[in-house]
Chains A and B, each alone.
Chain A
Amino acid sequence: MIRITFLTACVVAALSLSGCKLVKNTPDDEKAVAADASGDDARTDQRIADTFEPTLLPFVREKALEVPVLRSLLSRGLDAAGQAHGNRGAGQGAAWNFALTGTGTVVSAKLDTRARVADLDTDADGVADLTIQLGPVIRGTALRDFAPFYKFDDFRDQIEFAKLGRALNDRISGAIVLPEGDLIGRTMTFTGVVALKSADEVLVMTPISVGVTP
């Protein structure tokens, strides 16, 4: 009697196992994102789709300060400026990130590199005071770290967290179009994010938009 019950249980178990296999092959289940590292890219794509245009870009535009305003805030201390207008990246030693917008004259530019940059004079004293990254290689994680809605605790690990930073930079990099010829002397409008670890370091911007005139 016990044996029969046991056999029945086995048969039921076997049947339900094969049932599982059938379910696994339905299209719905194939869309499920793996919880391990193999699902990183899918999760990153989803995050970009959910947040880049709908949330991140408006957030940067809304929070963007004029360069002189940031300078003045920084003169009273980086932490105070950051707490009022910035966001800090995850963890100890991370930079404060600020959104900036404005216009400047290109004083110098380095375009014969994969990590192109233009140095701008934004206060008309003839001296460069802001460096804008123009890609295709964009360094750092300023865009990710400026957004308080990307929290490290929500990520599987530091690799997945880093992948989002890279994906955001790549989105920007793909959108930057520079005019032909020399940039020096031309006017550049910009909106973007700078990361600062100290109040007196060079401002290096990851832009969300740049425009060149004439």
Chain B
Amino acid sequence: MNIKRRLLITVMALSVFGAASGMAASADTIAIITPSHDNPFFKAEADGAQAKAKELGYDTMVLVHDDDANKQSQLIDTAVAAGVKAIILDNAGADASVAAVQKAKDAGIPSFLIDREITATGVAVSQIVSNNYQGAQLGAEEFVKLMGESGEYAELLGKESDTNAGIRSKGYHDVIDQYPDLKMVAQQTANWSQTEAYTVMESMLQANTGIKGVISGNDTMAMGAWAALEAAGRTDVIVVGFDGSNDVRDSILAGGIKATVLQPAYQQAQLAVTQADQYLKTGSTGLDEKQLMDCVLINGDNAAKLETFALSN
């Protein structure tokens, strides 16, 4: 089973590699490894990295680990065996990924991490992560303002195993808990899922008819919650999300969800490739390993400028 799976992955990876390198066989290759592209956020990362790599004259090998640390480890082996020059990685777990990145380093392949941190330094060359805490504070400040600093609200939490779920919740409460007239009457996980958020929101509404606002750990859950609120005729409820997806942008422009927080996924992935290129050419990025990227508040004022996790000027 395991061997079969590994072979399959290898074959898939090689075919991607083969297809990419078919154009210019002599070009160096950069591996781009992210969670599943089913979530448009990760698709935007892969697209951003790929576009920048192409611009800088690299071939690419695009792979997905589906948030499975074992699969990630196998993909790193595949990339190393294929002779890639650098790895761009949105990793499958802060602790579990350290060994995988170390393995690449031992093979002489530098890794450039995006979106999520790992719990060790000196293993990857760069760790460029969205400042989720700062972003959550921005979202919470807007939420507090929209709520008029008082009223009952509910929180939808992300998947517990994802560190960003906890970071965002902490960032929200860092701000909201400074307002004693804001009362959290329900808090539950919907595992980043739209359908799950719909049912969770339904039951929250039944138990708490006085809910005035909902703060959500990401945009897909915000979309699910908004659908449930619409179905219940409660479009007066203030909803704030996180990620800056096109779905939520459209909802904001249509007067539905009130705000979200953009993580500049596309730009972040491009930055990682630029640093990889710099490192390969000069042996150094000239920058600290751990780099934060600020998130940006999206509301009715700037939603129209948002497209695929990037804000135009």
Q: Which residues of A contact B (CB under 8 A)?
A: 89-95, 113-114, 136-137, 139, 141, 151-153, 157-159, 161-162, 166
Contact = CB atoms under 8 A, between A and B. Distances in A.
B253 interface: no
Contacts of A153: 121, 288-290
A137 B141 CA distance: 10
A34 to B, nearest CB: 14
A94 B121 CA distance: 22
Contacts of A158: 117, 129, 131-134, 167, 292
Given A141-B134, A157-B117, A94 B292 contact: yes
Contacts of A141: 134
Contacts of A162: 133-134, 137, 171, 174
Contact of B149 (A94, A113, A152): A113
Nearest to A91: B292
Contacts of B28: none
Given A114-B149, A162-B133, A152 B292 contact: yes
B133 A94 contact: no
B275 to A, nearest CB: 11
Interface in B133-157: 133-134, 137, 141, 149
B271 interface: yes
A157 B117 CA distance: 8
Interface residues of B, number: 30
A136 B178 contact: yes
Contacts of B179: 114, 137
Contacts of B267: 92
B170 A159 contact: yes
A90 B292 CA distance: 6
A92 B267 CA distance: 10
Nearest to B288: A153
Nearest to B294: A93
Which among A89, A92, A157 has the greatest number of chain B C-beta atoms within 10 A?
A92
Given A113-B149, A141-B134, A153-B290, A92 B171 contact: no
Nearest to A36: B119
B217 interface: no
A141 B137 CA distance: 11
Contacts of A157: 117
Interface string B249-287: 000000000000000100110010000000000000000
Interface in B49-106: none
B291 interface: yes
Contacts of B205: none
Contact of A152 (B141, B268, B271, B290): B290
Contacts of B271: 92
Contacts of B149: 113-114
Contacts of B121: 153
B14 interface: no
A176 B12 CA distance: 62
Contacts of B141: 139
Q: 5 closest A-B pairs (Cβ-Cβ)?
A: A91-B292, A93-B294, A162-B133, A92-B293, A137-B178
